[in-house]
Amino acid sequence: MTNPQTFIDHMIPTVLGTVRVRITGSGAPILCWPSLLMTGDMWIAQAECLAERHTVIMVDPPGHGRSQPLTAMFGFDDCAQCIVDILDALHIDVTHVLGNSWGGMIGGTFAALHPDRIGRAVLMNCTGSAAGLGQRIEYGALLRLAGLIGGFRGPLVRSAVKAFLGPTTFRTRPDVVDYVRASVRSVDLSSVSFAIRSVVPARVDQLELLATISAPVLVVAGIEDATFAVPETRAMANAIPGSTFQVLDGVAHLAALENPPLINALVADFLTG
């Protein structure tokens, strides 16, 4: 098992600005891309589990954490190219991908657009569909409110905690609730607003693209996920040929944070085939 002192940080130029990655372990690479409003550190528990067999690459996604702030919106193909840029800088030909929410969507995009660079993919708490009208209205109003009141994060924090966590975590995992609140409070609002707009209201339907994936894929849904309900995530899995779909009890939108032992075992089993 590893610990935070064994991580090596890299600042890597990409199509979406300079991105910070943290690397630990050795063996077949696995690149980990988190949800909106989270940094690569949400994968610490997975890194500690997987590092004995894998080189774990935890990404602070564009505009988040120590990565360069965003100044414009982007497309999912840009995010897939960002992964390619990271791999090229690290001299890695092929990687597994572990993604949550935004990371799960981008993992699917990457697998479809760059089939020669993907091993296996675990896509959690995500969707292949465009944002619905209600979600577009909700996030648009939230961003306008945050801007009007001088960058105050209160509405964003409350909305994110409600969207990301379910009743089991609120009842039994106060440390996870505190972690999510602290993570959202720490964001650069002007930067992440570009990411939120790109990933939520401007998100395009990817189901047709996902149908071209040839890599082994595991799609995971949380039974308590209020952001992407099980039927929406199942539709993503159904679009990916030969994919495996699993619904997890007791977790919501951030399964890797909410129940690390469960996710660690699930990912390790899938990566070993």
Q: Which helix (H) or strand (E) holds 210?
A: helix 207-210
pLDDT of residue 98 exceeding 70: yes
- For residue 149, pLDDT over 50 is answered with no
Residue 158: per-residue pLDDT: 84
Is residue 151 over pLDDT 70?
Answer: no
> What is the model's pTM?
0.93
The CATH number covering residue 91 comes to 3.40.50.1820
Q: In whole angstroms, what is the distance from residue 143 CA to residue 174 CA?
A: 27
Is residue 15 over pLDDT 50? Answer: yes
- Residue spans of beta strands (DSSP E) within the chain: 8-14, 17-25, 28-33, 54-59, 95-100, 118-124, 217-222, 244-248
DSSP state of 204: P
Confidence bin at 142 (pLDDT 50/70/90): low
Count of domains observed in the chain: 1
d(CA 168, CA 263): 16
pLDDT at 147: 54
The one-letter amino acid at 66: R
Domain around 170: 4-271
User: Dihedral of CA 205/211/216/221: which sign?
Assistant: positive
48-57, 139-148, 197-206 — which is least confidently predicted? 139-148
Residue 1: pLDDT band by 50, 70, 90 thresholds? very low
